[in-house]
Amino acid sequence: MLFSSITFIYYFLPILLIIYFSISSKFKNLILLIFSLLFYFLGEPKYIIVLILSCIVNYFLSRLIYKGKNSKVYLLIGIIYNISSLLIFKYTDFFIYNINNLFKINIPFLYIVMPIGISFYTFQILAYIIDVYNKKHKPADSLLTFMTYVCLFPQLVAGPIVRYSDIKEQIIKREQSFTKVSEGIKRFVIGLSKKVLLANVLGELSKSIIEETLVASWIRPLLYTLQIYFDFSGYSDMAIGLGLILGFRFLENFNYPLIASSITDFWRRWHISLSSWFKDYVYIPLGGSKKGTLKLVRNIFIVWSLTGFWHGASWNFVIWGLYFALLLIIEKLFLKKYLDRTKIIKYIYTLLIVVISFLIFNETDLSNLIYNLKNMFSLSIPFIGKESIYYLKSNCILLLVSFISSTPLLKTIVNKVKETKIKKLINILEPVIYILLLILNTAFLIDGSFNPFLYFRF
């Protein structure tokens, strides 16, 4: 089920909230678990077994790890179990395809459908068992607590990758207040608007411009960059908002990545929960940057190949990861200090690198990728055509809103205004604005086509 669906907003959510807020605290986790499993079941009936089995296996493994006897062996079993289930469900056909191509054989494809969210909850569970092994926290006190954590529907299918250490107290006891629920509602509606009013529309727009001109060859990846940003950060906003409504406070997953001043900075702002996962569980255990330049280069390449590969069973994702690895190494070795001295160039440089990266990210056909990249730097194609002119003209306000929304400008202005005398007016207007946004989102959903979240496929 999508957060940005009528079924979720008008049926699933009110029923859950009515029950959730009318029962005693001791049953809240049980209700959350039941609704989370229902949420997953409705989207992926068959694979709920994979999810439940994974919870049960890892819960008992974590207890065995914590007991101390043979903990390394149990940790190893846990890591193998989780990684192999991810590899089997997500990458089997990719491996078959490449083995067939390499050895000129013909192993039939298995056409395994990937359980939705497996990349996210597997990483969450891996972090959990490793942290138990490292005594960062105790294992969950009951299977109910553990399953409530893993299956918690706001973050189950597309993150953020919430660490148990960050919410363990909240799972047992969480504060509920109107302020928190109101904050959650606002965050949810903002996320919904990013997805429905911006990401979906930008996605359609980028597909409409098919002409082969220099402007179009840049606009398409730029629009896709904006689309994927609003799509994924919108989803994270909705997840964080729903968490707040239910009494949880998840860590932020995005921090205006499109205004980053370097690629290093970009990855501190984009999909923060994934990059910090790789940092804590791969990069630092490998030695990070503290064991000499050669090992730094090796570690960055390992981490970014894996980051790319995590996104999908396709070579373009690996290339995407390696592209960032290369740029991060260049920045770390010498470029960063020069960039830091500039005022505007560093932002333009980062945005260009990011836009090109999402062209790689979005194009699974490598020959198309090369063709599109060539066009971006070709002087032999026309500069601009009637399509680009028409769509830019028709969507100038939408684009302006999108650019502004990808920066903290609006947030800063609202915060400044709240400090002035018209604060009262803002207080009156705020509830009206959010209801109007909800009505507008509903209108776009009703008159729109099916638009799943881009990160659901990862």
Partner 1 sequence: MKDKIIVFSFMIYIILFSLLHIIINDNEISFEERRNLSTFPKFEFTSKFITNLEDYFLDQFPFRNRFRSVKANFNYNILLKLDNNIYLKDNYIFKSIYPTNKKSIDNFKKNVIKIKNMFPESNNFYLMIIPDKNYYLEDKNFLKIDYEYIFNSLKELNIQTINIKDILSLSDYYETDTHWKQENLDKVIKKMSTVLNFNYQMFNYTKVIYNNFYGVYYGESAINRSPEIITYLTNNFIDNLEVKYLENKKLNNIYNKEKLTSFDSYEVFLDGASSFIEIKNNMIKNNKELIIFRDSFASSLIPLLTPYYSKITVIDNRYISSEYFFKYLDYENNDILFIYSTLIMNDSYSLKG
Per CB under 8 A, residues contacting partner 1 are 1-2, 5-7, 9-11, 13-14, 17-18, 42-46, 178-179, 181-183, 185-186, 189, 210, 386-387, 390, 393-398, 427, 430-431, 434-435, 438-440, 442-447, 450
CB burial readout 416-449, b (16+ within 10 A) else e:
eeeeeeeeeeeeeeeeeebeebbeebeebbeeee
User: Are 38 and 7 a contacting pair, CB within 8 Å?
Assistant: no
Identity of the residue, 42 or 370, whose beta carbon is nearer to partner 1 in the bound complex: 42
Q: Would you please indicate which residues are annotated as catalytic (active-site) residues?
A: 311
**C-alpha separations of 399 from 199, 299, 383, 404, 405 in Å:** 11, 39, 20, 8, 10
Straight-line distance from the first to the last Cα atom of the chain, in angstroms, rounded to the nearest whole number: 16
Cβ(263)–Cβ(175) under 8 Å? no
Nearer to partner 1, 29 or 441 (CB): 441
CB of 332 to partner 1, least distance (A): 42
Least distance between partner 1 and beta carbon 176 (Å): 11
Smallest gap from residue 435 Cβ to partner 1 (A): 6
Phi-psi region of 449 (alpha: psi -120 to 50; beta: other; left: phi over 0): beta
Q: 169 or 175: whose CB is closer to partner 1?
A: 175
Q: Which residues contact 66 (CB under 8 A, 6 or more apart)?
A: 132, 138, 139
Structure tokens at 73: 């062996």
Cβ closest to partner 1, residue 165 vs residue 427: 427
CB atoms within 10 A of CB 106: 7
DSSP 8-state assignment for residue 88: H
Based on CB atoms, which residue is closest to partner 1, 26 or 46? 46
Instruction: Give whichever of 67 and 418 is closer to partner 1, judged by the CB atom.
Output: 418
**Given the complex with partner 1, which of 186 and 271 has the nearer CB atom?**
186
Q: Are 211 and 455 in contact (CB under 8 A)?
A: no
Structural Rg of the chain based on CA atoms = 23
For residue 14, say if its preceding peptide bond is cis, omega within 30 degrees of 0: no
Rounded CA separation 304/283 (Å) = 10
Nearest approach, Cβ of residue 334 and partner 1 (Å): 45
CB of 320 to partner 1, least distance (A): 28
What is the residue whose two structure tokens read 């970009």?
266
Spatial contact of 249 and 173, defined as CB atoms under 8 Å apart: no
The CB-of-422 to partner 1 minimum distance in angstroms stands at 14
User: Which tokens sit at 265?
Assistant: 């900075």
The least distance separating partner 1 from the CB of residue 233, rounded to whole angstroms, comes to 21
In the complex, what is the shortest distance from the CB of residue 359 to partner 1, in angstroms, rounded to a whole number?
22
Judge whether 167 and 128 are in contact, CB under 8 Å: no
Residue 239 vs residues 349, 432, 437: alpha-carbon distances, Å? 31, 23, 18
CB-nearer residue toward partner 1: 14 or 68: 14
**Residues constituting the chain:** 458
User: What contacts 445, CB < 8 A, 6 or more positions away?
Assistant: 4, 5, 6, 196
